[in-house]
Structure 1
Amino acid sequence: MDRIVRGLALSTITSSVVMAGGYKIPEQSLNSMALSAAYVAHTSGADTAYFNPANMAFMHGGKRYVEGGITLAHLPSNEFQSLPAYSGESEVEDIPIPFLHYVSEAMGDFRWGVSLVVPGGLTKRWTTPVQKAIAEEFTLKVIELNPSISYKVSDHFSVGGGVRLIYSEGVVKSNSADAYNQQLALADIARDMEGDTFELGYNLALAYKPTSDINLAVTYRSNIDLDEEGTATLYGGGDQLYHDDASVSVPLPAALNLAVSKTWNDTFTLEFNYERTFWSAYKALDFEYTGTGIVLTPFDDPIAKDWKDTNTFRVGATIEMANKITAMMGFAIDETPVPEETIGFELPDSDAKVFSMGFRYQQSEDLSWGAAFLYDSKESRSIKGMGTFHEGGAFLTTVGVAYEY
């Protein structure tokens, strides 16, 4: 329990800026949601522009493709069980996540597309004294515009790539007053910070079709450092100590996907996907204050994160039925990047199992629509000297419409 008290004294300011690790959002379309993101080798609609732009070269050359939709992410409360004074429960969050994809007509062996997606983000709020002292609110939004292009090298091989245009904004709040008054914290300090940033990155893709029923794919998304800049207000003992410029940098990590799909009788497709996310780029969290005022040590000391690279294994099945319905289902095993030594209330993450299912209905030759549901089941996680995190996870529901013309 001493670990919690020391954490309140030393980490009240610098423990709460993370982003899409355990809360990354790889599912950015109806199909990808229904397949637990096992959707890299066998992509077929406008969302190909995002998940594997190299595959745009193999789509019908005389057609344009567009798809849009929205996902509602429901994040149940996390429960932290410890001694009664240190236990707590986070707020329930409901977050809408839109997406939009477009693929142009072919221009010889070239083709272009563009996607507007939300590849990561998190909102976590606590009102109980101990947790509020560290993460009263943490909100991070990441929006990506991803134009891409493909080139058909041959009838069996294509390449693709794009530019990642990222806008991110965040809110970080903490307040240890309640914990201090209950003698659960060693200091009465608080912070309120907002910031945003524009950043650039890239993505690359390869697609190979050795036969008409087998697809092989490799995709890579670059690391992007989110250098958030904004304003921070810091308090000590109820007095304002600082109100000026502040900044912090966290990584949107690189990710490598290797995928293979096999189709039987043009009706049943099975895809396997391995994803390696390079979270080891997240070594430490260090706020910088460049204005005038008093910055106490707990606000300014770097906090080690030492996240680790993670593996995710995905499998997805697609069944084309005779009644104009395409059924989809998926499963994934997802590792957490957060080691026990640096876990915090802003991201009480753990290993997860992902289950999903959905359908698409072909309303006409050019128009289809559907829905999908995904459940991200988080394991309970006991932290030596602190307590146990329970519940959490996520429920995601997606509706989408696609049109070809």
Structure 2
Amino acid sequence: MNKNFLALGLAAALLAPQVAGAEGFAINEWSAEGVAMGGARMFAEDDAANVAYNPASITKVKGEVMKSSYTYLSPHGSYKADIKDSVKPGTGETIPADLEYGHNKVHAGWAVGSYYVRQINDKEWFGIGAFPRFAMVSEFERGTSGKPTMVSTNAFFSKLNGVSVTPTYAHKFDKKWSAAVGAEINYVGLELQKNLVIPTAGVNGTTQIEGESYALGWNAAANYAFDDKNEIGVVYRSRIKHSLEADLKGYGTKSPASPLGGSNDVFGNAYGVVTLPDSWDIGYNHKFDKKTRLELKATRTNWSTYDALNVYFDKSIVGIPGIAESSPSAKNWSDGWRYAIGLEHNLSDKYAVMAGFAFDESSIPYNGGDFIVPTGLRRTYSIGARYNDKKQTIAVALGWMDVGNLDFAGHATDAYKSAHAYDSFTKIASISYQRKF
């Protein structure tokens, strides 16, 4: 039965849409308890989700446990843009500069996690998890052929599905020290849609790039207990380099001046390289007594590895060799910190309540922002509750992510000079179930 449970849980994590919303693509919602404590959950007792939050803490698991978690995220947001002067294709009519307002279309989704931990003996543990580390989806108004909107020439639809599978080995050296090392098999599926408007060439079409990639990474972690009440831990996750091969589709993008003839659509292949960042987690755990404990956590993510999203095509998207054979986009994000605090209080042997708060810095510079990830600084408030007996644990959590404003400049190929994202927030609800064998 336990093998079937694990197989079904991993399949659910691999197949379900891993959606984070428009507020960013780094995911921290890996279990209901983790959501409830703001992501500050590096030292939990008997929790299989330690595979995700802190692999060195799977040494706190007794026996054999399996866990599944489902987190619902519903993003919302608005924008304002300073639109450039433009020319209506086919008429030569000038469309004057103006301000434009719009909204992010709600694309609610699920972040799914499945975990298995087995204690081999008094010193050794094995664990494996399948959970999303990076994911997002955003969609904005596409506009009309007569007046291209700001997102029509930037990205009116962006989606990144992701899942990491992490087989892990942990060793407990003594009462104070434990450590773990693991591999990471990381999958990403990327889809980008934008409008291509070149009035001088008579082009007014839609492009779609869709592809997927698998890549390998690794992680390592260590815990040190000063005494029965105080413990520190550190987790490192490596950067992961993806070489993405994708399908290119251009509808109505071929210029009438193209020497290639044929229909007005273009189909081909696209290629790009993206490096997902490495990160450090540093945590501290303090037990006030047997019922109440407090966790502090700081995460350093090296977003500077996301310096560009350059996509290259095997043919011209407008059907003219040497023109529009790539889509360069500088990002130049800066490294950033996330701070979290979580409180857990046991009301009895079976019931517990949790609360948390997290603050995320924005790593997006003015000249590197876009509508793929319009992320400002974030504040997340959360609460939760847990029931457990000798064989099972059920936890639920609710969260509210308040996303700050973000200003960013348009690129040369965009129809806007600058943009302002505001009133962005994400509703979060999560449930987890764990079973002991």
Smaller-chain TM-score range?
0.7 to 0.9
The one-letter amino acid of 1:79's match is Y
Q: Distance in 1 between matches of 2:81 and 2:240?
A: 35
Q: Distance in 1 between matches of 2:113 and 2:327?
A: 38
Provide the residue aligned with 1:56 in structure 2: 58
The one-letter amino acid of 1:216's match is I
Q: Distance in 2 between matches of 1:195 and 1:317?
A: 41
CA contact (8 A) 2:78 2:421 kept: yes
Q: Name which of 139, 150, 157 aligns with 2:159.
A: 139
Q: Alignment identity in percent?
A: 20
Matches within 5 A, 1:101-116: 101-116=115-130
The one-letter amino acid of 2:338's match is T
Q: Name which of 418, 422, 430 aligns with 1:386.
A: 418
Q: Distance in 2 between matches of 1:54 and 1:114?
A: 13
Instruction: Give unpaired runs (5+ residues) of structure 1.
Output: 1-17
Provide the residue aligned with 2:381 in structure 1: 355
CA contact (8 A) 2:213 2:242 kept: yes
Provide the residue aligned with 1:281 in structure 2: 305
Q: Distance in 2 between matches of 1:319 and 1:365?
A: 18
SS at match of 1:192: strand
The one-letter amino acid of 2:397's match is A
Q: Who wins on radius of gyration, i.e. which is larger? A: 2
Q: Distance in 1 between matches of 2:271 and 2:264?
A: 19
CA contact (8 A) 1:43 1:52 kept: no
Provide the residue aligned with 1:167 in structure 2: 187
> Are 2:380 and 1:373 aligned?
no
Q: Name which of 205, 208, 226 aligns with 2:242.
A: 226
Q: CA deviation at 1:331?
A: 0.6
Q: CA deviation at 1:278?
A: 0.4
The one-letter amino acid of 2:297's match is N
Q: Distance in 1 between matches of 2:224 and 2:81?
A: 50
Q: Distance in 1 between matches of 2:76 and 2:22?
A: 17
SS at match of 2:34: helix
Provide the residue aligned with 1:40 in structure 2: 42
Q: Distance in 1 between matches of 2:322 and 2:80?
A: 28
Q: Name which of 174, 191, 211 aligns with 1:195.
A: 211
Q: Please give the per-residue CA displacement for 1:316-350, whole angstroms capped at 9, x wherever unaligned.
A: 10001127221111111101111111111222110
Q: CA deviation at 1:301?
A: 5.0
SS at match of 2:134: strand
Q: Name which of 257, 277, 284 aligns with 2:281.
A: 257
> Are 2:340 and 1:320 aligned?
no
Instruction: Give unpaired runs (5+ residues) of structure 2.
Output: 1-19, 84-97, 144-148, 257-262, 410-416
Change in CA separation of 1:144 and 1:294 when aligned onto 2, cut-off 3 Å: farther
Q: CA deviation at 1:189?
A: 4.6
CA contact (8 A) 1:36 1:329 kept: yes
Q: Please give the per-residue CA displacement for 1:211-234, whole angstroms capped at 9, x wherever unaligned.
A: 111111000111112222121123
Q: Name which of 296, 316, 319 aligns with 1:272.
A: 296
Q: Distance in 1 between matches of 2:273 and 2:111?
A: 24
Q: CA deviation at 1:136?
A: 2.2
SS at match of 1:119: coil
CA contact (8 A) 2:362 2:378 kept: yes
Q: Distance in 2 between matches of 1:313 and 1:186?
A: 50
Normalization by structure 1: what TM-score?
0.87
Provide the residue aligned with 2:67 in structure 1: 67
Change in CA separation of 1:221 and 1:265 when aligned onto 2, cut-off 3 Å: same
Provide the residue aligned with 2:105 in structure 1: 91
CA contact (8 A) 1:287 1:302 kept: yes
Provide the residue aligned with 2:428 in structure 1: 396
Task: Figure out how many residues of one structure are paired with residues of the other and give that number.
Answer: 381
Q: CA deviation at 1:281?
A: 0.7
Provide the residue aligned with 1:27 in structure 2: 29
SS at match of 2:38: coil
Provide the residue aligned with 1:80 in structure 2: 80
